[in-house]
Amino acid sequence: MAEQSTGGESLLFLTDENLRKGIEAMFFAYRGFTADPDRILEDMDYGRAHHRAVHFINRSPGTTVGNLLTILGVTKQSLNRVLRTLFEDGLVEARIGKQDKRERHLYLTDKGHSLERALSDAQRARMRAAYRAAGPSAVQGFRTVLEAMMDAEQRRQYQGLKEGST
């Protein structure tokens, strides 16, 4: 998986030109990646920050505010502003921890699940189209490179959530 053969193999894929193409591919692809959810969100006065919160709450129901802070990598003040609107609008609810009553465990309400659905359906549709067009082995490569691009800390979180409990 790692090095095919640092011996006499072509390392042409490591030219600056190829790397630059990869950089621009990331830039343009990320725009596409967020475009569909962004359209849905702006119709309801939400932003990407709300999307991220909803995504990770859906993905790890009962997660605490502290967990979310770590995953999202923002300050609590910033996250709190977003969470507050989600509470007010009845998309997310917080339950006080049983063991540790300081903690707030976050859950999506039905309404929250609806939004999450709409957002991830849109995003998955694009992802599915890309995956299908590229084929399974390309997808494998895609994931391999992305994982290698993460910071160690981010990779840990990514993999920690990878096969959570399913």
Binding residue (CB under 8 A) for a second copy from 111, 117, 140, 160: 140
| Part in contact with a second copy (CB under 8 A); list of ranges 27-35, 78-86, 98-106, 107-115 | 27-35
How far apart are alpha carbons 78 and 149 in whole angstroms? 26
Nearest to 106 by CA among 116, 118, 115, 97: 97
We find the least distance from the C-beta atom of residue 107 to a second copy, in angstroms, to be 18
55 binds DNA (CB under 7 A): no
Residue from 26, 55, 56, 65 binding DNA (CB under 7 A): 65
CA angle 58, 59, 64 (to 5 degrees): 80
Q: HSE-up of 107 (CA within 13 Å, CB side)? A: 9
Looking at 20-28, 65-73, 114-122, 137-145, which segment touches DNA (CB under 7 A)?
65-73
Query: Exposure string (b/e) for 58-89, b if CB count within 10 Å is 16 or more?
Result: bebeebbbebbeebbebeeeebeebbebbbeb
Q: Which is nearer to a second copy, 103 or 115 (CB)?
A: 115
List residues near DNA by CB under 7 A: 45-50, 64-66, 69, 73-84, 94, 96-97, 99-104
